[in-house]
Structure 1
Amino acid sequence: MIYLDYQATTPLAPEARSAMVPLLDAGFGNPHSPHRMGREARAAVEVARERIAAPFGPGGRIAFTSGATEALNWAIKGIAKPARASRPRIVTTAIEHAAVLDTAGWLAQQGHELIVLPVSAGGIVDLDAAEAAIDGRTALVAAMLVNNEIGTIQPIAELGRMARNAGAVMLCDAVQGYGRVPLPVDACDLVALSAHKIHGPKGIGALWLRDGVNPEPLLHGGGQEAGLRSGTLAPALCAGFGVAAQLMRERAEEDSDHVFRLFGHARSIMGNWQVNGALDHRYFGNLNIRRAGLDVARLISDVREVMFSAGSACASGSGRTSHVLKAIGLTDAEAKSSIRLGFGRYTTIEDLDRAMALILAAAATQKEWA
């Protein structure tokens, strides 16, 4: 099996797994308990928190969540709902993850004003449209750092500047970019993270909150996290997340160079396929490409040895055309002839050569029998 779906999830780093095992065995204490086992579990949680927060510097804190979807729901609802009377507007982009677009859309049904900014053919937000939309009526601006379907990097610093000038809160979905590309922390007030996108475990994410930014709780109960998020933490998941985050920092240059080489190698092999999204301002672990007339569903079925995608994992099987590919101007036919290849730390050149050969052979057979 060759795994090329790193945007959907990443392989668990062995170091992260090793950090988790003791906390699943003898160290199973509740981190909110006062006895020795609880204190030991709590210590592991706090070490993890420090590791995840390290790239942000001073002036904020990490609150653990069940994943990025919860973090984004909490941030959007927790900022927008209490501000609705004086600041009813939410501004986001047309290529956000469903966790942002669907949450903002739900709020629009409750009476909030939603502005969805267009993007260029390269998948970069229209800053002129953003400047016009982000005003004194705006409570929240939400944008992703790296797009999960096409890999383009958004101008978060510029959007954050506009939000700050208007007195709005800036939320960044950094799920695909954390540890991989520079994050303009100074421009952000809230940042959503996910462990399983950075070689950590599934079932845990985080929301970074700038000091003084306190979204209303999404979950009510004990207020264990920052006094705002309730629920018993899983120390093993926290520890795995923390080690994964530390590895992302330590291996940042090595991982970046590796995916850049893989991207160039894949493009050289798939040279007559069209790349979706800008070739600059992108994360190179994501290659979204298309070939006219390709039946992607059939291709995925035929190439069973290679794990790749037609787009976002959460939309797979829905039958819907990718909203991201439509937003950059692709027709339904072009969008449905596109595949996403995601690679990273544990992908080898040999993996890529074998995968490309299988995909090209299956695509050629399709063309022959078309």
Structure 2
Amino acid sequence: MTLAKTVYLDYAASAPARESSLAAERAYAASDYAGANPNSLHGMGRLAARALDQARADLVRCLGGRFRPAEVTFTSGGTESNNLSLFGLAEGARERDRRRTKVVVSAIEHDSVLDVAAPLRASGFEIELARPGRDGKVAPEALAELVGPDTALVSVMYANNETGVVQPVADLARVTHGAGAVFHTDAVQAFGRIPLDLSDVDAVSCAAHKIGGPVGIGLLAVRGRVNIRPRQFGGGQELGRRPGTQDVRGALAFAAAAKECASGLEASRAATATRARALYARLCAEGTGIKPTAGTEVGDDRLPGMVSLLVPSLDSETMILALDDAGFEVSAGSACSSGSLDPSHVLSAMGIPRQEALGSLRVSFDERVGSDDLDAFAGALLRIVSTRSANR
């Protein structure tokens, strides 16, 4: 089937490249220092190092939370940032205080956090899961029951990658600090989409491709007062936290995308939230058989451009393939878990019944997607649900 137009609505998996980011890559390629090693002492190396420092400073300004440029470590993306934070911060805390052998993570984390549990256990750590309520949020009171003088690290994501629910990160960080532990948040989905309150956060992960930057570069910002152990060895780059020659091109393109997002954040957030509300209202109207995963109100506790739905009468794969044929690209949840026949661990942790969770859809977009495309998508989904449900 040949489609006149494909509407991409899977920005939470990876957002289309922004022109500002592509322009930064082209400017780098045309520069005198393109390809130079920023760790070299000669002139070209120093130019590359200055460009890398500028990218670091730009990203810190976009990140907020009073982080310093020197506290930013460039990585290959969100997964590496999360892996490094879990291993490095847990081991760093235990190195300072041998009693601290517990790591607490929420049950709705991305796999790049949850899958670190097994190797951490093998290293002598106890793992505790903080479970959310039906609203998708981890309550500070629930976390307080899990942390104590034996806790090394707590990691709770800023906004969930399947439901878009924003966590009470500042409150969770204060509970963590009350127990003397370190607090990390995976802000891969939230950075560039909503204002971040990181004033009480010790470490934060971000990825460029979620905001229209290049695939293959991310960052982990860690307060200078916090001890973190490296997971890779072989050089002194990035203060020894992540050795290896840095990707200057990627860092500049990441910073360019972040600056564009930051400069128009208030307007883009408002426009995107308005479109999400309209989409929820149409799709979840009485008689459609479609339900919101965690409520339809798009406010401060929800990413503005993520619409999370449950279609109990159909399975996710059937809907995704039918929508793809109709020219609309969406997902069931995390792209890193696609192909699994099991319901989402996020929805299961929220207490959503298996049969409903198997019919989940995630629609994600930013200010670059207009109302006309979203209206067309809604019409296509409603037709698919009506037709397929009638034929069951």
Deviation of the 1:250 alpha carbon: 0.2
Counterpart position of 1:286: 306
The answer on 1:65 being equivalent to 2:75 is: yes
Cα-to-partner distance string for 1:289-319 (whole Å, 9 max, x where unaligned)? 1122112211111222111001110000122
1:18 is the counterpart of 2:40:
no
Structure-1 separation of matches of 2:17 and 2:67: 30
Q: Is the 8 A contact 2:235 2:243 kept in 1?
A: yes
Structure-2 residue corresponding to 1:79: 89
Q: Which amino acid aligns with 1:296?
A: S
**Within 5 Å, which residues of 2 pair with 1:197-236?**
197-236=210-249
Closer, same or farther: CA 197–141 of 1 in aligned 2, 3 Å: same
Listed one character per residue, the Cα deviations across residues 300-354 of structure 1 (whole Å, up to 9, x for unaligned) are 1122211100111000012221000111111111001110100112101111111
C-alpha change, 1:33 and 1:352, in structure 2 (3 Å) is same
Q: What is the deviation of 1:208?
A: 0.7
CA–CA separation in structure 2 for the residues paired with 1:105 and 1:230? 25
Shift of 1:28: 2.2
Asked if 1:115 is matched to 2:128, the reply is yes
Deviations 1:160-203 (A, max 9, x none): 11111111111011111113223222211111111111111110
- Mapped contact 2:60–2:67 kept (Cα < 8 A): no
Q: How far did residue 82 of structure 1 move?
A: 4.5
Write out per-residue CA displacement over residues 246-294 of structure 1, whole angstroms, 9 at most, x where no aligned residue: 1121010111012111101211220232111243521121111112211
Distance 1:186 1:58, change over 3 A: closer
User: Which position in structure 1 is the counterpart of 2:282?
Assistant: 269
Q: 1:179 aligns with which of 185, 192, 199?
A: 192
Q: How big is each residue's C-alpha offset from its partner over 1:110-135, in whole Å with a ceiling of 9 and x where there is no partner?
A: 32111101111010113222111111
The 8 Å contact of residues 28 and 37 in structure 1, kept in 2 or not, is answered as no
Partner of 2:50: 43
- After TM superposition, give the deviation of residue 97 of structure 1 in Å: 0.6
Partner of 2:360: 338
Please state how far the C-alpha of 1:50 moved relative to its aligned partner. 0.8
Aligned to 1:158: 171
Are the structure 2 counterparts of residues 57 and 79 from structure 1 closer, same or farther at C-alpha, using a change threshold of 3 Å? closer
- Measure the CA separation in 2 of the matches of 1:160 and 1:358: 42
TM-score where L is the length of structure 1: 0.96
Give ranges in structure 1 of 5+ residues lacking alignment: none
Assess, with a 3 A threshold, how the Cα gap between structure 1 residues 224 and 216 changes in structure 2: closer, same or farther: same
Give, in angstroms, the shift of residue 225 of structure 1. 0.5
Distance 1:293 1:58, change over 3 A: closer
Structure 2 SS opposite 1:225 = helix
Q: List per-residue Cα deviations over 1:218-264 (Å, max 9, x = no partner).
A: 11111211232101111110011001111121010111012111101
C-alpha distance in 1, partners of 2:316/2:151?
A: 40
Are residues 1:169 and 2:182 paired?
Answer: yes
> Which residue matches 1:296?
316
Structure-2 separation of matches of 1:83 and 1:192: 18
Structure 1 residues 260, 21: closer, same or farther in 2, change over 3 A? same
Q: Is it true that 1:259 corresponds to 2:272 in the alignment?
A: yes
Q: Which 10-residue stretch deviates more, 37-46 or 123-132?
A: 37-46
C-alpha distance in structure 2 between counterparts of 1:23 and 1:167, whole Å:
44
Instruction: Work out whether residues 23 and 41 of structure 1, in 8 Å CA contact, stay in contact via their aligned partners in 2.
Output: no
SS of residue in 2 equivalent to 1:222: coil
Who is 2:334 aligned against? Answer: 312
**1:14 alignment partner AA:** E
The verdict on how the C-alpha distance between 1:58 and 1:270 changes in structure 2, with shifts beyond 3 A counting, is: closer
**1:263·1:285 contact (CA, 8 Å) conserved in 2?**
yes
| Alpha-carbon RMSD | 1.5
> Given the alignment, which residue of 146, 159, 183 partners 1:133?
146
AA aligned opposite 2:20: E
Structure 2 counterpart of 1:29:
36
Q: Give secondary structure in 2 for the equivalent of 1:187.
A: coil
Q: Which amino acid aligns with 1:116?
A: L
How many residues are aligned here?
370
Of stretches 247-256 and 289-298 in structure 1, the one that deviates more from structure 2 is 289-298
Given that 2:236 and 2:243 are in contact with CA atoms closer than 8 Å, whether structure 1 keeps it comes out as yes
Residues 59/25 of structure 1: CA separation in 2 closer, same or farther (3 Å cut): closer
